Amino acid sequence: MIIVSIDPSGNWSEGKGTTGIAVFKDSKLDSVKTIEARFFADAESYWNEVAFHASKYVVRSQIDVVVCEAFKLQPNKAAAQSWSSMETPMLIGHLRMQAWQHKQKFVLQDPSCKTRVPDELLVKMGILEKRGNRHYALGKQTNDHMRDAIRHGVYYHLYGRKRE
């Protein structure tokens, strides 16, 4: 079973968007990476790169599930989002449509799911390795976006499949 889990940030216009992508094969982390908006000329090329990396396993083997963090506008943050282009929900829609075109299951998970899978648990499970105050996965130093993508994949493995 192949699961691709995504921590999306579509914010290209501010240049701050960083999307984390983790791929699990047979419940084991196979790859993890981030894609940063600041390296792309426009939002569409950034979103296309995210979609490409989320689907590159299609050629070699079928993705069973695409797990993506949902975007929910929280009432206490609504004022701060005034006049926002809402690029992250657009990226999520793009990813959802791509999954549909490839006949892949697309699952949205609430952002709060990540709290159930803290770094300490990922270390205990052997997915992360802690060196000093940094965390590594597959020998590579991770950032928050990578670990959040990993968290969504692990959460899906532990709890998400049971709910469907």
In angstroms, the CA 164 to CA 150 distance is 20
pLDDT tens digits, one per residue of 58-90: 544 578 899 999 987 666 665 565 556 778 888
Which pLDDT score is estimated for 59? 47
Q: Is residue 9, in this structure, part of any structural domain at all? A: yes
Q: Is residue 81, in this structure, part of any structural domain at all? A: no
Q: Is residue 78, in this structure, part of any structural domain at all? A: no
In angstroms, the CA 45 to CA 16 distance is 15
In angstroms, the CA 9 to CA 89 distance is 9
161 versus 102: the higher-pLDDT residue is 102
In angstroms, the CA 129 to CA 140 distance is 10
| 115 band by pLDDT with thresholds 50, 70 and 90 | very high
Residue 25: give the domain boundaries.
2-73+86-163
For residue 118, pLDDT beyond 60: yes
Q: Is residue 28, in this structure, part of any structural domain at all? A: yes
Report how many domains make up the chain: 1
Which pLDDT score is estimated for 55? 72
Q: Is residue 146, in this structure, part of any structural domain at all? A: yes
Contacts 24+ apart (CB under 8 A), 70-73: 70/108, 70/109, 70/110, 70/111, 71/8, 72/110, 72/111
Q: Is residue 80, in this structure, part of any structural domain at all? A: no
CATH code of the domain in which 6 resides: 3.30.420.10
**What's the mean pLDDT in 125-147?**
97
Q: What is the mean pLDDT of the chain?
A: 86
**What's the mean pLDDT in 77-106?**
80
Which pLDDT score is estimated for 56? 67
pLDDT tens digits, one per residue of 11-57: 877 767 899 999 999 889 999 999 999 999 998 898 888 888 777 65
Q: Is residue 117, in this structure, part of any structural domain at all? A: yes
**What's the mean pLDDT in 109-114?**
93
Q: In the chain, how many H helices and how many E strands?
A: 6, 8
Q: Is residue 104, in this structure, part of any structural domain at all? A: yes
State the helix-helix crossing angle for 87-101 and 43-55, rounded to 10 degrees: 40
pTM of the model: 0.88
For residue 6, pLDDT beyond 60: yes
**What's the mean pLDDT in 88-99?**
89
Residue whose entry in the numeric block shows the structure tokens 């960083």: 18
